[in-house]
Amino acid sequence: MSIELKDVTYVYMPKTPYERVALDKVNLTIEEGSFTAIAGHTGSGKSTLVQHLNGLLVPSAGEVLVDGVNLLGKDKAAKIKAWHARQQVGMVFQYAETQLFEETVEKDIAFGPQNQGLDEAEVQERVREAMELVGLSYKDYKDVSPFALSGGQMRRVAIAGVLAMRPKYLVLDEPAAGLDPRGREELMSTIQKLHKKWNLTIVFVSHSMEDIARLADNLLVMQAGKLRAAGTTAEIFADAQLLQETGLEPPQIMQIMQRLQKAGLPVDSSAITPEAGLQSLREVFHVK
Amino acid sequence: MAFIEVNNLTHIYGKGTEQEFCALKDVSFTIEEGEFVAILGANGSGKSTLARHLNGLLQPTEGECMINGLDTKKPEDIWAIRRQVGMVFQNPDNQLIAGVVEDDVAFGPENLGMEPEKIRQQVTEALRAVGMEEFRKFAPHLLSGGQKQRAAIAGALAMDTRCLILDESTAMLDPQGRREVMGTVEHLHEERGLTLICITHFMEEAAKADKILVMEKGQLVQQGRPQEIFADAPRLHKLGLDVPLAVELAWNLRKDGLSLPQDILRNDDLVAALEACYVH
């Protein structure tokens, strides 16, 4: 099972003077169970791309398949199938906390499953489950106004609202932007847990090479509406020329290690996480 | 007299109502002209409330804020204060108002009643200072996030601002946009002695400051040079903050018994120290 994009092209405001090709013949596959990051310069097409993954945007050309089902159903039967396929893909937007609107955390999270037509008991079960998944105690927070929470907690409520619909794929657009270091750490750990413990397939857009290196297995690099490169995080970060041409830079630890290597130290310059870097430094300096 | 003097500043939102909330409590500090100060603190610790006092957007409930000898509580001084202290906010889309970049930059000087000839000169100079001359005739929505923030900075410079407050101005930018904005303000700080106050969650930005103020729950809990503040990593972690990667690595290696200097802050420092330490 997977999400597949085949020759997807998307044109904003076609046939007007403002016409702009935001996606240009993009082909990619996101396998179920994978953890994929999308990086690229502002305006490279990242957000346009993720909005195709659950049919919020419809390709100008090409097709999007979720578990083999084309999201653009032609007849009535195909449309129903497409609707079900779309439900498999949950989407968390940038600054998702701005979408909260209900009086209590419970009501806000219940909004999605209620609209799916589930009965009361099932909805409550879903809310409880989703809150536990994002690390908010149901008992303590269900009756709290979402607007009384911290920024990081509000964002987790917004994610819970998506999880309550039990998607198989979770797509997040810059999930940690604007959070303080602790909020960021908690949120990224939550996402990691959703992947490891609950087997959710994760796709996230990020400007933080540190977060990408720490969490993702695969990395897609967008440039000027095209999928410029796809590979494992280690492969992509090792390609200095690619990074430079696409306006990205390797994680900080890798930059440090590369500079040390240039200076003649036998360190592991392929380390992309602080832990791996520290390990290599310990060996080189014979400590611990 | 320091450029900014904050004395026993307390700010209570919604005083006397049910939602009464004490956002700042008895905060005192000074900032000298030409200093680069970073303010750290978890979300909700009072950083932005504090910043909004420094150009009179908010008034102290108790205590006082003196800017270059002027009291922010005196309505007759408020324009003189805002002219000297410019603010750049987090969201680049919330602060550009005109249809063309140069009109936006000219907005401040126009409101100060400058002569048209002088305004043109101020706008040209301000755009040059932030490296945005070629975008003079552009509509703001055609700019990148970093360019929008630089245009906002130019707007403050055109009023001959002496101090810039960046309230998480790089939080919504991509790495390149962040480098553009920080490079611009650091340059202005070094070349023109612009006073810089930078609220940030990026510890690498804070490491470049002369002084760091640490806020927690409305109180100023620590102030000092970056070397002093970052020396106590566990304490910062407890406050929900972080330390720069170079500091974290050095701290771990020292703990393992490697002898490294105490003042490692930036990647440059760490690389140099490790090089010196390595026996070929």
Q: What is the pLDDT of residues B104-148, one digit of tens each?
A: 999 999 988 899 999 999 999 999 999 999 999 999 888 888 899
In a domain, A6, yes or no: yes
Q: CA B247, CA A270: separation in Å to the nearest integer?
A: 21
- pLDDT of the residue at B280: 67
Domain housing A202: 1-88+168-179+197-232
How many residue pairs from chains A and B have C-beta atoms closer than 8 A?
Answer: 98
Q: Residues of chain B with pLDDT > 90: what percent?
A: 78
Cβ–Cβ contacts within 10 Å for residue B238, how many? Answer: 11
For A191-225, give the DSSP string. HHHHHHTT--EEEEE-S-HHHHHHH-SEEEEEETT
Would you call B144 and A42 a contact, using CB atoms and an 8 Å cutoff?
A: yes
Interface confidence, given as ipTM, is 0.84
Nearest to B184 by CA among B149, B135, B158: B149
In a domain, A154, yes or no: no
Tens digit of pLDDT for each residue in B172-199?
A: 888 888 888 999 999 999 999 999 999 9
In a domain, A122, yes or no: no
- pLDDT of the residue at B260: 92
In a domain, A155, yes or no: no
The residue that leads in pLDDT, B11 or B91, is B11
- Which among A118-122, B40-44, B275-279 has the top mean pLDDT? A118-122
Please identify every stretch of chain A with a pLDDT value under 70, giving residue numbers as ranges.
none
Q: Which residue of B has its CA nearest to A40?
A: B174
Q: CA B254, CA A222: separation in Å to the nearest integer?
A: 40
The Cα of B134 is separated from the nearest Cα of chain A by a number of Å equal to 20
Would you call B267 and A252 a contact, using CB atoms and an 8 Å cutoff?
A: yes
Q: Which residue of A has its CA nearest to B145?
A: A42
Question: Which residues from chain B sit within 8 angstroms of residue A285, using beta carbons?
Answer: 253, 258, 274, 277-278
Total domains, chain A: 1
Overall average pLDDT of the B26-39 stretch: 97
Are A212 and A185 in contact by the 8 Å Cβ rule? The answer is no
Q: Which residues of B touch chain A, with CB atoms under 8 Å apart?
A: 41-44, 90, 144-145, 168, 171-177, 201, 203-204, 240-242, 245-246, 248-249, 252-253, 256-258, 267, 270-271, 274-275, 277-278, 280
Q: Is any Cβ of chain B less than 8 angstroms from the Cβ of A263? A: yes
> Which amino acid belongs to residue A210?
E
In a domain, A174, yes or no: yes
Q: Is any Cβ of chain B less than 8 angstroms from the Cβ of A41? A: yes
The Cα of A236 is separated from the nearest Cα of chain B by a number of Å equal to 17
- Dig out the tokens for B123 from the structure: 């706008």
For A151-182, give the DSSP string. HHHHHHHHHHHHHTT--SEEEEESTTTT--HH
Q: Distance between alpha carbon A269 and the CA centroid of its chain, in Å? A: 27
- Among candidates B41, B44, B249 on the partner chain, residue whose Cβ is nearest the Cβ of A274: B249
Residue with tokens 């810039």: B164
CATH for A38: 3.40.50.300
Q: Supply the DSSP symbol for B160.
A: T
- pLDDT of the residue at A183: 87
Q: Which residue of B has its CA nearest to A209?
A: B175
- pLDDT of the residue at A70: 94
- Among candidates B175, B176, B271 on the partner chain, residue whose Cβ is nearest the Cβ of A260: B271
The CATH number, out of the four listed (3.40.50.720, 3.30.465.10, 2.102.10.10, 3.40.50.300), of the domain defined by the range B4-226: 3.40.50.300
